[in-house]
Structure 1
């Protein structure tokens, strides 16, 4: 785990992108850096803000520092429970990039700054701009094959294997299991709204039950809070949180839901969200075997097939719930993922796996 100390994240994007503040922020990792100019690029603001930019330095760029960077923080004035949860999620993501990303070995964005304001709890990161390096960000409309899923499952095995029951991570507050918090402030109303609208049109009738999905996720949260074995999990391992790096390799981003938990929370969700229904049905057993093989290669005593498959069914419930309560995403994306995840839940009687 890193011992680097970064300056506190500022409250506004304007200050964040000022040469003076960037000098201090980047200087924590690149001593002597002298930022003279910041060239703003595209900005996307929803709950969080993502801003691409380029820097120029007086004496040239230090070794290892790219001129093309991307800032992510919570600079919009979102109030209520959603805003509170988002800002705290930003702290968890900062902690991942600051303390664990490099050590875990999982393929992700390369962070050059990760800091939190201790008073406001506003967290922000600066990463290399992978778009400038030729990367492609994915969504449910992107082609994603079973071969690609095998690669991304191997990356999840890297993360899980590197952190499997790690005593140094057992007491880390930022990794405290928190699935139960996802039903605070929202849940039944949002699921009903999605299921009763065109957004939920592709959810099979046998799992189109808002109360059962809500209760199922609460049961899953209770069952996994103190579950053994545990590892660090991504927590939101859907296709939209993947990018293909400049070499076309699947890589993970958006670590706001990172926490301790059972491996299957990631893997069941990942399988059911990344692939079309037809591809998943055809390849899911082979892909689960592949993941378990990669886990063994990481030195882990992998679960038996029966235990693994029971876990996969539970992981599907997690993904189905998260997309059941989703509102601030383009409807076609939510529609596609609810169809995939709902169909997987129906195919495998996922609610029964969590006892509801």
Structure 2
């Protein structure tokens, strides 16, 4: 078998390649033809949908699959290599069966080459599920689905010290220091302010300046529980199923998976996933919902008060994702709009929850 995304063009995969794959993983099928079409507008990777025409189709044979491969953008390739994105996503699917396939699409094929930093993931196609829209925001019902999945993810490896054995997983004892220091992240804020100065209001700049100035201390001062976290837990990385779907939600894009603070995922999602107008109406109820699901999953040592304290602390995290990603990945019109929207929403989240007082 050749290695799509590594030594071959995934758009040129043949029926024979998939027949070899299906035989290897125990799928009863013979592919006689297929079509491959690029889909989505990924900032870090490129996605392809494969549609199969079968000479013989067993009951476990998929009608379609989706592949994820390296970006065609040199800037995004360089960022992915610097930050370890491609290896991390492949290893996530290989390493964490308590969550991979349960709250994610199932993985049929994974490959990664250390020397070239090229990868391939071929996964369950979640269509007709619909991708969340970071700009539009989500409903309360969709937010509850996301937070229930967060509880599954976090509870599965809550305070699990075995996470520290993985040197590819961010934040572990075995992992190298972050590719970007807090000072370098703060420097990205300076560049972001300059690039988007005509689109930033003074109240947003004030929060961003305070956070950037506090970043070195903020990054190290927090103490609290740890778990396996997504670290880019937002609507664009969620696929919402139709009513009655076997998976009501599937989480994708695990390049940033980490050993980290569970409240970080929660604050990041609520802060950017709901609009500025809707978040304050539902914020506390959604936090309660997540906390209840976490308790049901067996985590009983984390009080709601502690969760809210951590939520306030991590309300700033989404700002660094927004301005950092804007300066590091391929610039697009939608990307600009998305990162600016996220930044504004997180600045408001920090203000509304008096989080600026934590930076003093």
TM-score (norm 2): 0.82
* Aligned position for 1:251: 250
Assess if the C-alpha contact under 8 Å between 2:99 and 2:152 holds in 1: no
Assess if the C-alpha contact under 8 Å between 1:71 and 1:126 holds in 2: yes
How far is the alpha carbon of 1:238 from its aligned partner?
1.7
* Rounded Cα–Cα distance in structure 2 between residues aligned with 1:188 and 1:299: 38
Assess if the C-alpha contact under 8 Å between 1:192 and 1:210 holds in 2: no
* Aligned position for 1:127: 123
How far is the alpha carbon of 1:282 from its aligned partner?
1.4
* Rounded Cα–Cα distance in structure 2 between residues aligned with 1:55 and 1:102: 30
Structure 1: which 5+ runs fail to align? 1-5
Is it true that 1:342 corresponds to 2:360 in the alignment? Answer: no
| Post-superposition CA distance 1:268-291 (Å, at most 9, x none) | 111101101222111111111111
Q: CA RMSD in A?
A: 3.1
Is it true that 1:318 corresponds to 2:314 in the alignment? Answer: no
TM-score (norm 1): 0.83
Assess if the C-alpha contact under 8 Å between 2:182 and 2:216 holds in 1: no
| Post-superposition CA distance 1:27-53 (Å, at most 9, x none) | 432356544333112345653111112
How far is the alpha carbon of 1:201 from its aligned partner?
3.6
More moved, 291-300 vs 306-315: 306-315
* Aligned position for 2:108: 112
Is it true that 1:138 corresponds to 2:137 in the alignment? Answer: no
**Number of residue pairs aligned between Structure 1 and Structure 2:** 344
Assess if the C-alpha contact under 8 Å between 1:323 and 1:334 holds in 2: yes
* Aligned position for 1:162: 156
* Aligned position for 1:148: 142
Match of 1:50 among 42, 47, 51: 47
| Post-superposition CA distance 1:176-229 (Å, at most 9, x none) | 3179435589634542344355588465526535553334444343246xx552
The within-5 A match list for 1:1-356 is 10-12=5-7, 14-15=9-10, 17-19=12-14, 20-30=16-26, 33-43=29-39, 44=41, 46-60=43-57, 62-76=58-72, 78=74, 81-85=78-82, 88-101=84-97, 103=99, 106-130=102-126, 133-177=127-171, 180-183=178-181, 187-196=185-194, 201=199, 205=203, 207-208=205-206, 210-223=208-221, 228-247=224-243, 249-327=248-326, 328-329=331-332, 330=334, 331-353=336-358, 355=359
